[in-house]
């Protein structure tokens, strides 16, 4: 779910979508009543994979920088009495029919999956606390993998394959000398890998590899993605060379 609307018209547009989609949202909720938890888990997983690189949603721990902050977008509407069922309808409508002046592609998810994403977002926006139970573990924490370790002069620090703004790990280890730093990016979100003073790989996506080679002395180095907004969202880590 990429950038959807300019911020000035965001509330009004979502409110209109909510009115049009409220009945749709209610029917979707009743249709999924018996398996709510499973649907919300699917919704969270799809949201993180498809939308998290563009949108902030605290409960999903996504930190996208190019689209509206969804928590902020609905905060006032909720205070004004908008129901979460209305938000479900608004999000569902936006998934299927995004703003023609924006860059978000239509129908990133469809059918029941679109309902699942909308239901998870509607439950989560501007909500206090964190996801609990199965929802809390529905998505692997970005950047929480084991440290990457250099071997025979090669060090691979891959981008998160789900498209989150993170590497698979935020820690790496190497031995002083020439090191080729590689980052495979299986996601459709563009990333590169950079270490200041050492090198910058090209921006890649969809299975391509970003890489560079340099001589490293013992010390600590910061690796990061230089695509605008990605480092600020947390896409960086520490390389320790001994």
161 within a domain of the structure (yes/no): yes
pLDDT band at residue 6 using 50, 70 and 90 as cut-offs: very low
pLDDT given at position 74:
95
- Token output for 125: 């926006």
Q: How many domains does the chain have?
A: 2
- Asked if residue 41 has pLDDT above 90, the reply is yes
pLDDT band at residue 1 using 50, 70 and 90 as cut-offs: low
Please identify which residue in the block is written with the tokens 């998505």.
139
pLDDT digits (tens, 9 = 90+) for 140-190: 777 778 999 999 999 999 999 988 899 999 999 999 999 999 999 999 889
15 within a domain of the structure (yes/no): yes
pLDDT given at position 225:
97
143 within a domain of the structure (yes/no): no
Who wins on pLDDT, 29 or 214? 214
Kindly state whether residues 114 and 162 are assigned to the same domain: no
Dihedral over Cα of 174, 198, 236, 222: its sign: positive
Kindly state whether residues 98 and 73 are assigned to the same domain: yes
Kindly state whether residues 55 and 125 are assigned to the same domain: yes
Kindly state whether residues 111 and 55 are assigned to the same domain: yes
Average pLDDT over residues 14-22: 46
224 within a domain of the structure (yes/no): yes
- Asked if residue 14 has pLDDT above 70, the reply is no
- Asked if residue 33 has pLDDT above 70, the reply is no
Kindly state whether residues 70 and 165 are assigned to the same domain: no
175 within a domain of the structure (yes/no): yes
Kindly state whether residues 103 and 176 are assigned to the same domain: no
pLDDT band at residue 81 using 50, 70 and 90 as cut-offs: very high
Kindly state whether residues 159 and 87 are assigned to the same domain: no
Kindly state whether residues 35 and 113 are assigned to the same domain: yes
142 within a domain of the structure (yes/no): no
Q: Which long-range contacts (CB under 8 A, 24 or more apart) does 72-75 make?
A: 72/126, 73/10, 73/11, 73/14, 73/125, 74/14, 74/125, 74/126, 75/125, 75/126
Mean pLDDT of the chain: 86
Kindly state whether residues 44 and 68 are assigned to the same domain: yes
- Token output for 142: 């970005």
**Strand-strand pairing, 219-224 and 236-241:** antiparallel
Which CATH number characterizes residue 21's domain? 1.10.760.10
- Report the predicted TM-score, pTM, of the whole model to 2 decimal places: 0.68
Which CATH number characterizes residue 192's domain? 2.60.40.420
85, 106, 136: which is the final residue of a domain? 136
1 within a domain of the structure (yes/no): no
- Token output for 49: 């994979």
Kindly state whether residues 130 and 16 are assigned to the same domain: yes
Task: Round to whole Å and give the CA distance between 32 and 9.
Answer: 31
Kindly state whether residues 83 and 187 are assigned to the same domain: no
**What does the angle CA 83 – CA 88 – CA 92 come to, to the nearest 5 degrees?**
150
Question: Which domain, by its residues, includes 186?
Answer: 148-241
234 within a domain of the structure (yes/no): yes
Kindly state whether residues 154 and 178 are assigned to the same domain: yes
- Asked if residue 230 has pLDDT above 80, the reply is yes
106, 136, 166: which is the final residue of a domain? 136
Share of the chain above pLDDT 90, in %: 63
């Amino acid at each position: 779910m990429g950038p959807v609307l300019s911020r000035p018209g965001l509330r009004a547009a979502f409110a209109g979508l909510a009115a049009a989609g409220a009945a749709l949202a209610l029917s979707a909720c009743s249709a999924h009543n018996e398996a709510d938890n499973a649907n919300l888990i699917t919704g969270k997983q799809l949201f993180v994979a498809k939308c998290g690189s563009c949108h902030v949603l605290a409960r999903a721990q996504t930190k996208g920088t190019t689209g509206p902050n969804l928590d902020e977008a609905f905060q006032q509407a909720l205070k004004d009495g908008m129901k979460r069922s209305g938000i479900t309808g608004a999000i569902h409508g936006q998934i299927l029919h995004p703003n023609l002046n924006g860059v978000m592609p239509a129908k990133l998810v469809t059918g029941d999956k679109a309902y699942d994403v909308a239901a998870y977002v509607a439950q989560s926006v501007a909500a206090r606390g964190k996801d609990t139970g199965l929802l809390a573990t529905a998505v692997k924490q970005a950047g929480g993998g084991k440290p990457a370790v250099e071997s025979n002069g090669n060090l691979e620090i891959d981008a998160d394959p789900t498209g989150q703004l993170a590497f698979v790990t935020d820690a790496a280890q190497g031995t002083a000398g020439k090191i080729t730093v590689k980052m495979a990016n299986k996601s459709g979100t563009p990333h590169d890998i950079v270490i200041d003073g050492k090198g910058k790989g090209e921006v890649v996506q969809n299975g391509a590899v970003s890489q560079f080679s340099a001589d490293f002395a013992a010390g600590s180095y910061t690796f990061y993605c230089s695509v605008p907004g990605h480092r600020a969202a947390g896409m960086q880590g520490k390389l320790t060379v001994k």
